[in-house]
């Protein structure tokens, strides 16, 4: 398993925190060259705490948050998942909801399986490459208790005419990385969206 960063155990800042889960990447990509890691670095460059983890770590990450920071319910939290990491982000959102914690924004790219977005999420966005043979995306759907904003967005609607995006190009698409960061953050940190529109 590739080397990873140490977990930041300091209290969460008022600007909030973004938890990111990586997924299936091209052979040759590493933890530190993945698109998810690049997004993590972009978030940190804007002064916001960001933590990247593997798909299988979502329970450990969630339990650590619940155990270590009882004030987490008062701080803005956002989640991101790529490929199989979309499921991890959705599962973390559900577990947080069971503990009374709101999620401001959930962004997923190329979700590997259909994910149901729980009612504690204010906004959910799924970006996917609809025009490619190598798009493995499944839609995200609202859970019965969901009342926020939800979009499944083909990237052909957001990218310049003629630009292509597929499951494998995510790591190197700076335009898509910027879209993700702009969904998650504003000038004060994690976007505060509650109550849902």
CATH number for the domain including 48?
3.40.50
Q: Flag whether 3 is in a domain.
A: no
Q: Flag whether 48 is in a domain.
A: yes
pLDDT band at 135 (very low <50, low <70, confident <90, very high): low
Higher pLDDT, 74 or 7: 74
pLDDT at 114 over 90: yes
Mean pLDDT of the chain: 86
Pairing of strands 189-190, 185-186: antiparallel
Percentage above 90 pLDDT, the chain: 60
Higher pLDDT, 157 or 35: 35
How many independent structural domains does the chain possess? Answer: 1
Q: Flag whether 80 is in a domain.
A: yes
| pTM for the model | 0.89
Q: Flag whether 7 is in a domain.
A: no
Output 57-62 pairs: Cβ under 8 A, ≥24 positions apart: 57/21, 57/88, 58/21, 58/88, 58/89, 58/91, 58/92, 58/95, 59/91, 59/95, 61/19, 61/92, 62/92, 62/95, 62/96
Q: Flag whether 99 is in a domain.
A: yes
Q: Flag whether 142 is in a domain.
A: yes
> What is the pLDDT, as a whole number, of residue 4?
64
**Residue 63 three-state SS:** helix
Please report, for residues 1, 33, 56, 93, 157, the alpha-carbon distance to residue 181 in angstroms, rounded to integers and kept in the order given.
27, 17, 23, 18, 18
Of 53-57, 124-128, 172-176, where does mean pLDDT reach its minimum? 172-176
Q: Which domain holds residue 173?
A: 17-190
Of 91-95, 107-111, 112-116, 158-162, where does mean pLDDT reach its minimum? 158-162
Q: Flag whether 172 is in a domain.
A: yes
Rounded mean pLDDT, 56-70: 90
**For residue 38, what are its two tokens?**
């690049």
Q: Flag whether 159 is in a domain.
A: yes
């Amino acid at each position: 398993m590739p080397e990873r960063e140490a977990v930041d155990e300091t209290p969460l800042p008022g600007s909030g925190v973004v938890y990111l889960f990586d997924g299936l990447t091209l052979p040759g990509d590493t933890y530190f060259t993945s698109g998810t890691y690049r997004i993590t670095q972009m978030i940190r460059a804007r002064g916001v705490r960001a933590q990247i983890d593997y798909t299988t770590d979502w329970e450990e990450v969630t339990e650590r948050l619940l155990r270590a920071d009882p004030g987490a319910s008062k701080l803005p939290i956002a989640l991101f998942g790529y490929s199989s990491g979309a499921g991890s982000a959705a599962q973390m959102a559900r577990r947080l909801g069971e503990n009374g914690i709101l999620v401001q924004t959930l962004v997923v790219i190329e979700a590997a399986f259909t994910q149901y977005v729980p009612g504690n999420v204010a906004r959910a966005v799924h970006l996917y490459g609809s025009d490619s043979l190598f798009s493995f995306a499944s839609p995200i759907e609202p859970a019965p208790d969901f009342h926020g904003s939800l979009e499944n967005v083909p990237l052909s609607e957001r990218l310049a005419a003629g630009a292509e995006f597929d499951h494998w190009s995510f790591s190197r698409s700076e335009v898509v990385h910027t879209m993700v960061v702009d969904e998650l953050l504003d000038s004060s940190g994690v976007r505060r969206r509650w109550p849902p529109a």
